[in-house]
Amino acid sequence: MPLPTGVYRADHVGSFLRPKALLAARAQAAAGELTPEKLRELEDSYIADVVSKQRAAGLRSVTDGEFRRQWFHVDFLKHLSGVELRGAMSSTAASVDGTTPPRLVVVDKIAHPQPIQVADYNYLSSRIASEDQSQAQKDKLPPATAKVCIPSPTMVHFRNSRDTISEAAYPVLEPAFFDDLARVFREELADLYAAGARFVQLDDTNLAYLCDPQMRAEAEARHQGLSGDALARQYAALINAAIAERPADLKIGIHLCRGNHRSRWFAQGGYEPVAEVLFRDLNVDAYFLEYDDARSGDFSPLRHLPPHKTVVLGVMSSKTGALDDRAEVVRRLREAASFCPRGLDQLCLSHQCGFSSTSEGNELSEEEQWAKVRLEVEIAKEVWGEDLSV
């Protein structure tokens, strides 16, 4: 059996529904009624449980469920010096109660004073090792990969404008701002690699948002002088610079999302406007693509996929508790494969996004969540066979 590369035929984006007791503890901590140390102890215990549940469901790519986060991106990016959380962005589709994603503004030179995700990775890795040791004796499970999910560096630029990036720190944005942004991600990736991480997923809403006509127009207005096409090329260059120094055995995936808050979305539009840049210019190993409904367009952009890259196709939905139609999932996988140079061999299966990109989570129960994951693993075995490695 080949060693895990971090991508599997049955895969997932990363987040799972937070247990209600953990949400209550987080509220207590925010109110000053629970110490950060006690909160982390509770997070540890629930992460140990979600690791066990992922392995029991048949997943080999294992995360901490993003149980330490409120938002998928803010809880990482706020640890960069020079970046602060202020206000919210506008959207073509505000979610429940008018919620729109937070905006992170740049108030000083961007720096990476210390590792952000390493301690979380170390705990996750230790729990996977413990779980696999006990499970291997009973069920002879194949090895798992600890997947680290961090936001894409584009998340610091797209939602900002010249007014929200300090002119004192960056009188002009190019090249200094983008160089600093790429550098802090290179430093974080180096720290993660030294700790043992071998698969990192970048969560990026912005290349997908550039596929939404209204959001594209809003972005062009914010970033005066840059077209949507120019922004896509700039973001590919930024991400490439951020991952340029990774060792050959550190694999990088990118997840494109159009919004995932309490089963609602923020953007719409097929991938065609960014497809060539996404698949041909971006130097990542795998793409986790949202494809659960017509909002994401058809599969024809996959014709740009090079033969050496992999797409984890999110044709199942994390937004509803209803089980996906098995036959329809298989049909759509085969339809997508017809556009790929190497057909089904280049594809994997997942839900379109995580189950809880924000701490509130999508509108389904934990039991429904795990039933959907188990079904996904069953479908993957039906399509590709028992060995789910890529």
Name the percent of the chain lying above pLDDT 70.
Answer: 92
Tens-digit pLDDT profile for residues 156-183: 998 888 889 999 999 999 999 999 999 9
Both tokens of 171, joined, read 């009188």
- For 314, the enclosing helix (H) or strand (E) is strand 310-316
Q: What are phi and psi of 105, to 5 degrees?
A: -110, 155
CA distance 126 to 66: 16
Domain regions of the chain by residue span: 20-384
What pTM did the predictor assign?
0.93
Q: What pLDDT sits at residue 96?
A: 53
- Using an 8 Å Cβ cutoff, are 55 and 62 in contact? yes
CA distance 290 to 286: 13
- Which residue(s) pair with 88 in the sheet? 102
DSSP-derived 3-state class of residue 245:
coil
Below-70 pLDDT ranges, the chain:
1-4, 87-101, 135-140, 260-263, 265, 361
Distances (CA, A) of 289 to 50, 120, 173, 203, 322: 24, 25, 30, 11, 21
Q: Is the dihedral of CA 194, 195, 199, 200 positive or negative?
A: negative
pLDDT of residue 139: 62
Torsion angle in degrees (nearest 10) through CA of 252, 255, 256, 262? -160
Measuring CA to CA, which residue among 315, 317, 330 is closest to residue 380? Answer: 330
Which residue blocks in 148-305 are alpha helix, DSSP H? 176-195, 206-209, 213-222, 228-243, 275-276
**Kind plus residue range of the DSSP H or E element containing 290:** strand 286-290
Q: Which CATH number fits domain 20-384: 1.10.10.10, 3.20.20.210, 3.40.1190.20, 3.40.50.150?
A: 3.20.20.210
Q: What is the distance between the alpha carbons of residues 22 and 377, in angstroms, rounded to a whole number?
A: 27
The alpha carbon dihedral of 169, 173, 179, 184 has a sign of positive
Q: What's the confidence (pLDDT) of residue 2?
A: 45
The residue written with tokens 């599997």 in the block is 8
Distance CA 254, CA 203 (A): 6
